[in-house]
Amino acid sequence: MNLDFLDRVTDPERVPPGRTIESDAVVIGSGAGGAVAAFELQRAGLSVAILEEGPYLTGRDYGRASPLEAVRMLYRKGGLTFTVGNQSVLLPAGLCVGGTTVINSGTSLRALPQAVQRWRDEFGLTDLADHLDDTYARLEDAIGHAPVREEIFGKNGRIFREGAQRAGYRGAVLTRNERGCRGAGRCFLGCPDDAKQAMNVSIIPQALRAGARLYTHCPAKRVLIENGRAAGVLAPRGVTFRAPTIIVAAGAVYTPLLLRRTGARGRGLGRHLKMHPASRVFGLFDEEIRGWEGVPQGYHLEDTLREGISVEGIFLPPSLLGPVLPDFGPRHDALMQQYNRFAILGFRVIEDTEGRVFPSLSSWPILWYWLKRPDIDRLVKAAAISAEILFAAGARKVFTGIHGFEELSSPADLKRLREARVGASDLELSAYHVQGTARMADTPEKGVADPSGQVWGVPGLYVADASAMPSTPIVNPQLSIMAFATHVARGILSRAGRPIDERRPSHLPR
């Protein structure tokens, strides 16, 4: 990867304490929202400072790291962010330039039409919805949006596809953001080849080449409000970034906390915490699968989405698979010896549950999330569908993360699973796609920010990340987060008399 832009990257330790740095806009966060907002503003002629809490890393840094080393290097709190409630749910999140785009699977999908209609009808986001198809097209060009190629599909994906067809489910090859992927199978540990077009190798370099400046290891302490409007950001060591436009894109957990410290009090701030609770099933086959070869997430079910259930292919390295397989001692060792014969499916539900983000006296926020019965039932159904597909593909046994159903020996066990009354504490869960804690809406009673992304009552202060999304796009949200950020940038530039550059962003030379 060409790193000729690194002279635009600064560590605050090289900035004298107490210094004031001025620009036209400050963007807090460099993930899917912050990167796109910064790029659009900078290439339209505004000067932009990007503040990122984590380091700038690329494939040369994490490409040869072990899975546990990569998790420690790239994940916030070593991957141990979790909720409290009737079940603890792990929330993996990136802490680096590019944010969670560095550690996701690269899946790139447009919001489903019913989700867009809800944004329009319930929350008044008419202008965003009207431009959405064009915005998606521009973004897809920029990040290499394309279906997974058959040569990197992998046998894990083929097992999934074959089993789904035999079981009567309609699926499709996923589209992803990548250029030159060779199927290394490490997407969630950071792409070793920088082929996945995460923000750290795609949009952020474009923003820097256009003239933006990036400050790493630079968490925002507080947004400064003067005379009722945003005026700057206080950073570590007394460094102040002054600008009339401040865009908060710190993610759906930390954006509401930062806004609260700033003094924002919008109705719903920190509330409406939405996510996609998820788990997995493992199928043990007689044949060799070698699931680590190829794209881990290359195929998904389409017809279950209307039920609020998403099933996608995944795979795990031994160090992360071992702790979640059942049993211990010789039996556990015997299962791990068959690692090359496992296929894995991941599933998640598009939920009814809403949680809340609370500040705490430590650096760990409190994430309250009480899983509701409809979501528990959907998770059990999703596990049964996934197990059915693996059995249909020829699995000898299937292992789930549900207490009492850790091992299924035949399709006959599925009836017992489907009829079980499972509690939240019986589920082994993680969750993805956190959103909604500072949502955009057409009235302050419904949202924290107005339909342009500007925080109600605080001119110059904007939200441009997943926290602004008022409801789920149903599918993986990265492309939609980027579209929301484009919409926010378009509004800022319109107010400044600088129309957004509608040319499609060019991809990086490799």
Bridge pairing between strands 48-51 and 25-28: parallel
Q: How confident is the model at residue 510 (pLDDT cuts 50, 70, 90)?
A: very low
Task: Please say if the pLDDT value at position 393 is more than 50.
Answer: yes
Q: What is the DSSP string of 352-388?
A: S--BEEE--SSSS-EEE----HHHHHHHHHHHHHHHH
Q: Which residues are CB-neighbours of 150 under 8 A, at least 6 positions away?
A: none
How many beta carbons lie within 10 A of that of residue 510, not counting itself? 11
Q: How confident is the model at residue 13 (pLDDT cuts 50, 70, 90)?
A: confident
Q: What does the block give as tokens for 42?
A: 């900078």
How many beta carbons lie within 10 A of that of residue 409, not counting itself? 10
CA distance 481 to 107: 13
Task: Please say if the pLDDT value at position 509 is more than 50.
Answer: no
Q: Of the residues 145, 276, 433, 487, which is catalytic?
A: 433
CA distance 182 to 313: 17
pLDDT in tens, 102-127: 999 999 999 999 999 999 999 999 99
CA distance 442 to 449: 8
State the burial class of residue 330 (Cβ atoms within 10 Å of its Cβ: 0-12, 13-18, 19+): exposed
Q: 335-341 contacts: CB < 8 A, separation 24 or more?
A: 335/284, 338/284, 340/288, 340/289, 340/290, 341/284, 341/285, 341/286, 341/287, 341/288, 341/289
pLDDT in tens, 300-345: 999 999 999 999 999 999 988 898 888 889 999 999 999 999 999 9
Average pLDDT over residues 255-269: 89
Q: At what angle do helices 126-142 and 478-495 cross, to 10 degrees?
A: 110
Average pLDDT over residues 399-412: 95
**CATH superfamily for domain 6-75+93-144+183-272+434-495:** FAD/NAD(P)-binding domain (3.50.50.60)
CA distance 82 to 368: 9
Among 1, 108, 107, 104, CA closest to 56 = 1
Q: Is 301 helix (H, G, I), strand (E, B) or coil?
A: strand
Point out which residues pair with 347 in neighbouring strands.
279, 311
Residue 217: active-site member = no
CATH of 147-178+274-353+372-428, one of 3.30.410, 3.30.1490, 3.30.1120, 1.10.3430: 3.30.410
pLDDT in tens, 28-80: 999 999 999 999 999 999 999 999 999 999 999 999 999 999 999 999 999 98
Q: What is the DSSP string of 433-478?
A: EEE-TT-B-SSTTT-SB-TTSBBTT-TTEEE-SGGG-SS--SS--H
Q: What does the block give as tokens for 413?
A: 């066990």
**Residue 4: per-residue pLDDT:** 85
The answer to whether the beta carbons of residues 355 and 424 sit under 8 Å apart is no
Domain boundaries, the chain: 6-75+93-144+183-272+434-495, 147-178+274-353+372-428
**Residue 134: per-residue pLDDT:** 95
Do the domains at 6-75+93-144+183-272+434-495 and 147-178+274-353+372-428 have one common CATH topology? no
State the burial class of residue 404 (Cβ atoms within 10 Å of its Cβ: 0-12, 13-18, 19+): exposed
CA distance 363 to 261: 13
Average pLDDT over residues 393-398: 98
Task: Please say if the pLDDT value at position 508 is more than 50.
Answer: no
